[in-house]
Amino acid sequence: MKRTAFFISDGTGITAEALGNSLLAQFGSIAFNKVTLPYIDSIEKAVAAVDMIDQVMEEDGQRPIVFDTVVDEATREVISTSGAYKIDVFSAFLKPLELELGSHSSYSVGKSHAINEVTSYMDRIESVNFAIDNDDGARTQHYHKADIILTGVSRCGKTPSCLYMALQFGVRAANYPLTDEDLASDKLPETLLPYRDKLYGLTIDPFQLASIRHERRPNSRYSSLDQCEDEVRIVERMFRTEKLPHINTTLFSIEEIATRIIAERGLERRLN
Amino acid sequence: MKRTAFFISDGTGITAEALGNSLLAQFGSIAFNKVTLPYIDSIEKAVAAVDMIDQVMEEDGQRPIVFDTVVDEATREVISTSGAYKIDVFSAFLKPLELELGSHSSYSVGKSHAINEVTSYMDRIESVNFAIDNDDGARTQHYHKADIILTGVSRCGKTPSCLYMALQFGVRAANYPLTDEDLASDKLPETLLPYRDKLYGLTIDPFQLASIRHERRPNSRYSSLDQCEDEVRIVERMFRTEKLPHINTTLFSIEEIATRIIAERGLERRLN
């Protein structure tokens, strides 16, 4: 049975998607066809959205589910004329919140993912630059400025985790890949020793590691299961003997890896 | 008046934050102190959260606002014993959605930002690698694989926008900085010509550009307002004469830049 979900917003659509995906994930047996309609910020665009929804309804033979985070009431009213089942975030929560806060909503469009302050924009850019400049152990002389330093074998998820922490939270994250040489010595590299308190280990299932490495260098020693098993065994032993906090990335998304590390280490977020 | 908002989740907290920030952004006159409590996935942790909320309530002399996306009902019930004003996403929307879908919710924890499929994980990692490998015009030989190629002067926001598109949407985004030489010729660089259809220009207010560049190289020609004004004038003229679609990044967040370009160009998203 085909069922379509629309995420409709007058801004980026990120909130509608996050909320909608959270709710839909609870219905694992249904395969949803998902459509995001961002920047629906005029009556004309709302009318076009309604046409699209109603057409999909006819094709599906089922009414679509609409997750609506449009702030403007007139636009929202147009959207509610479609035949879809509608989950309307602002109708549900904004009025009661006005009462609770004793304050009127500004009903201004697209505020949540807009630029708030120039300083937080700069923090974000600086954090992204930091992650790129301090990626892959290329440079270690800025580690004193890092909030966290991820370490582990090549391709275990360090780079995307660092970038996510930078973009989403403004956390300055460096990463240092443990090389064959580091693993052969069975000890933390000298260069990391001054930053013990900032280190966080990533590990991974050897099968998954081999499959990820295979994408980069197929049929190499680097991507062989033997090699991956060896590296993971050594690195996990090193994390235990060195008493480094660590996480197995196999079962976690990048969002989960990033938020778990931030929560566990109590890292300060520069963005809100 | 100090007012605290809590974002509480049994998962990453990303949905609670997105929703809560959307709603709170409508009350611009109130300065909220924001606290995220992720991974509240046991009765014990919920009890500790309630203690924390009630303590903050006493300190603030105001009841906090709690945005709750906890799925487990028993845990949610504990959280509702605090004195806070609570916005409870699953209570509000899950039951009606069960009726609409004729299906029971699995009430399973932390689903929305968990790993769904290995293929989409790989798509994401590949997109991040693509953005890094094709950052800053370092290499152009993979541009045929790009979904989009951002271009503009140095420090106008290309790199974070590309990384955000990769991480959030699995879009393969390259970026090419227009150098002094490119600008002097007043034409699109030869190397970009075969990829005209994938090009998207970024421009920026010269004052903001100067201030961003100043962070990197203070008091240089590169960061001088004169230089920034010259570069921006030339690049905007080039975008117009070459009829390149472009966006001024000054007033937009990275989320907005990314989602506007994706919507306008109709780029396929590899993540949902």
- Between A67 and B105, where is the model more confident? A67
**A48 Cβ under 8 Å from any chain B Cβ:** no
Q: What percent of chain B has pLDDT over 70?
A: 96
Measure CB to CB from residue A19 to each of B19, B252, B254 and give the nearest one: B19
The residues that bridge with A176 in the sheet, in sequence order, are A151
Contact B26 A212 (CB under 8 A): no
Which pLDDT belongs to residue A41?
95
Out of A3, A114, A167, closest to residue B164 by CB? A167
A148-152 sheet: strands from edge to edge? A173-177, A148-152, A199-203, A246-248
pLDDT-based confidence at A109, cuts 50/70/90?
low
Judge: A106–B260 Cβ closer than 8 Å, yes or no: no
How many interface pairs between A and B have CB atoms less than 8 angstroms apart? 204
DSSP per position, A160-183: HHHHHHHHHH---EEEEEPPHHHH
Question: What mean pLDDT is reported for chain A?
Answer: 92
- Which domains, ranges and CATH numbers included, belong to chain A? 2-101 (3.40.50), 115-265 (3.40.50)
Cβ distance B112 to A87 less than 8 Å, yes or no, reads: no
B221, pLDDT greater than 90: yes
Q: A159-195 burial, b for 16+ CB within 10 Å, e for fewer?
A: bbbbbbbbbbbbbbbbbbbbeeebbeeeebbeebeeb
Cβ separation of A105 and B19 shorter than 8 Å? no
| Integer CA distances (angstroms), A53 to A5, A50, A69, A252, B195, in order | 9, 5, 16, 34, 34
The answer to whether residues B268 and B262 touch, using CB atoms and an 8 Å cutoff, is no
What's the helix, strand, coil split of chain B in %, to 5? 50, 15, 35
Q: Is A156 annotated as a binding residue?
A: yes
Q: Which of residues 237-266 of A touch B (CB under 8 A)?
A: 251-256, 259-260, 263
Query: Rounded to the nearest 5 degrees, what angle is found at the Cα of A187, between the Cα atoms of A181 and A192?
Result: 90
pLDDT of B1 higher than 70: no
What is the CB neighbour count within 10 angstroms for residue B221?
8
pLDDT given for residue A255 in this prediction: 94
Residue A36 is encoded by which pair of tokens?
């995001």
pLDDT for residue A118: 61
More confident residue, A188 or A116: A188
Segment B24-34, tens digit of pLDDT? 999 988 989 99
Whole-number pLDDT of residue A110: 65
Q: Is the pLDDT of residue A167 over 90?
A: yes
Is B138 at the interface with chain A, CB within 8 A? no
Q: Residue B227: its pLDDT value, please?
A: 96
The mean pLDDT of A79-83, rounded to a whole number, is 96
* pLDDT tens string A209-256: 999 999 889 999 999 999 999 999 999 999 999 999 999 999 899 999
Distance from CA of B260 to the nearest CA of A (A): 7
Is B53 or A25 the better-scoring residue by pLDDT? Answer: B53
DSSP class per residue in chain A: --EEEEEE-SS-SHHHHHHHHHHHTT-TTS-EEEEEE----SHHHHHHHHHHHHHHHHHHTSPPEEEE----HHHHHHHTTSSSEEEEHHHHHHHHHHHHHTS-----TT-TTS---HHHHHHHHHHHHHHHHTSTTS--TTGGG-SEEEEESTTSSHHHHHHHHHHHH---EEEEEPPHHHHHHTS--GGGGGGGGGEEEEE--HHHHHHHHHHHSTTSSTT-HHHHHHHHHHHHHHHHHTT--EEEGGG--HHHHHHHHHHHHTPPPS--
Q: Are A150 and A200 in contact (CB under 8 A)?
A: yes
Q: Tell me: the pLDDT tens digits for A126-138?
A: 999 999 999 988 8
pLDDT at B123: 87
d(CA B175, CA B150) in angstroms, rounded, equals 5
Q: What gap in Å lies between CA A174 and CA A138, rounded to an integer?
A: 10
**Which residue in B27, B101, B255 is closest to A113 by CB distance?**
B255
Evaluate if residue B87 carries a pLDDT over 90: yes
Task: Convert the pLDDT of each residue in B160-188 to its tens digit.
Answer: 999 999 999 999 999 999 998 899 998 89
- Does position B215 have pLDDT exceeding 90, yes or no? no
The whole-number pLDDT of residue B118 equals 61
Query: Do residues A113 and A40 make contact, with C-beta atoms less than 8 angstroms apart?
Result: no
Least confident segment among A164-168, B117-121, B147-151 = B117-121
Q: What is the pLDDT of residue A111?
A: 66
* Interchain CB distance below 8 Å, B27 and A112: no
User: Which residues of chain B have a CB within 8 Å of the CB of A115?
Assistant: 251-253, 256
Tell me if A153 is assigned to a ligand binding site: yes
Q: How confident is the model at residue A116 (pLDDT cuts 50, 70, 90)?
A: low
The pLDDT of residue B146? 97
- Residue from the list B94, B115, B253 with its beta carbon closest to the beta carbon of A115: B253
Instruction: Kindly give, in sequence order, each residue whose CB lies less than 8 Å from that of residue A265, ignoring residues fewer than 6 positions away.
Output: A148, A200, A245
Does the CB of A219 have a partner CB in chain B at under 8 Å? no
A124 contact B CB<8A: yes
pLDDT band per the 50, 70, 90 thresholds, residue A145: very high
DSSP for B218-239, written as a single string: TTSSTT-HHHHHHHHHHHHHHH
Q: Which of A103, A251, A263 sits opposite B38 (nearest CB)?
A: A263
Asked if A26 and B111 come within 8 Å (Cβ–Cβ), the reply is: yes
Is A160 in Cβ contact with B167 (below 8 Å)?
yes
Residue with the larger pLDDT of the pair A8 and A114 = A8
Q: Does the structure show a pLDDT above 90 at B267? A: yes
Q: How many Å lie between the alpha carbon of B83 and the closest alpha carbon of chain A?
A: 13
Provide the pairing of β-strand B148-152 with A199-203.
unpaired
Mean local confidence (pLDDT), B84-89: 94
The ipTM assigned to this model is 0.91
CB contact under 8 A, B12 and A259: yes
Q: What percent of chain A shows pLDDT beyond 90?
A: 78
Over chain B, what is the mean pLDDT? 92
Asked whether residue A158 is marked as a ligand-binding residue, the answer is yes
What would the pLDDT profile of B103-127 be if each residue is shown by its tens digit? 888 777 666 676 666 667 888 889 9
Share of chain A above pLDDT 70, in %: 96
Q: How far is B90 from chain A (nearest CA, A)?
A: 8
Residue B116 confidence (pLDDT): 60
- The whole-number pLDDT of residue B272 equals 64
CB-hemisphere CA count at 13 Å for A134? 27
B215-239: average pLDDT: 95
**Res B228 pLDDT > 90:** yes
